[in-house]
Structure 1
Amino acid sequence: MKYVKANAIWLETLVKEVQKYVQGEFLYIPNPQGIRKQWGENSGYRQYLCDRNEEIRREFKLGAEIEQLSDRYCLSYDSIKKIVYSKRS
């Protein structure tokens, strides 16, 4: 979420009206549809993790051991186990 100065987008009369209620505070104005993106959707990191986990599952199915995958992806043994044995495919 980025911050925008009210003076840059609103008319001066509207800014003065809002200042009657809030002064020098951060004001959050929600999306009119109420739709929020999930964590990592804007940056693409969520998709990166999904792709990485699919790659880990594929390598495991092809015979790679959990310890090898742990070293290759710099994740703990237990993290790799959670990924390869999860029901997501």
Structure 2
Amino acid sequence: MKYQNARALLPEKLVRDIQNYVQGSYLYIPIQQEHKKQWGDNSGSKKLLQERNEQIAQAYRNGTCVKELAQRYFLTEHSIRRIIREEHNVQT
């Protein structure tokens, strides 16, 4: 998270009002719930993991064994089975 100077963003009167409560400290202002994004939306991580999981499930359907997929993707066999199961549930 990047800190920003309140004087650069807020009207002077509002800065003075806030200073009555907080002097020279960091103040976290949470995002409004309706503007909140899900994990990975900004970075694209969520999409990359979804694509990887689809590739894993497809390779499994094409005959690649769980052990080989675990080695290829540096995951545990348990994780591979979970991904395959979740991808199967998405498709049905």
Both proteins in one fold, TM over 0.5: yes
Identity, % of aligned positions: 38
The residue number in structure 2 matching 1:44 is 44
**Cα deviations across residues 45-75 of structure 1 (Å, max 9, x unaligned)?**
0110000000000000000000010000000
The residue number in structure 2 matching 1:88 is 90
The residue number in structure 1 matching 2:29 is 28
RMSD (Å) for aligned C-alpha atoms:
1.6
Q: C-alpha displacement at 1:18, in angstroms? A: 1.1
**Cα deviations across residues 5-58 of structure 1 (Å, max 9, x unaligned)?**
101111222211111122213131433x62311111111001100000000000
Runs of 4+ in structure 1 off by over 4 angstroms are none
How far apart in 2 are the matches of 1:29 and 1:81?
A: 37
What runs of 5+ residues in structure 2 fail to find an aligned partner? none
Larger helix share, 1 or 2 = 2
Give the total of aligned pairs.
Answer: 88
What runs of 5+ residues in structure 1 fail to find an aligned partner? none
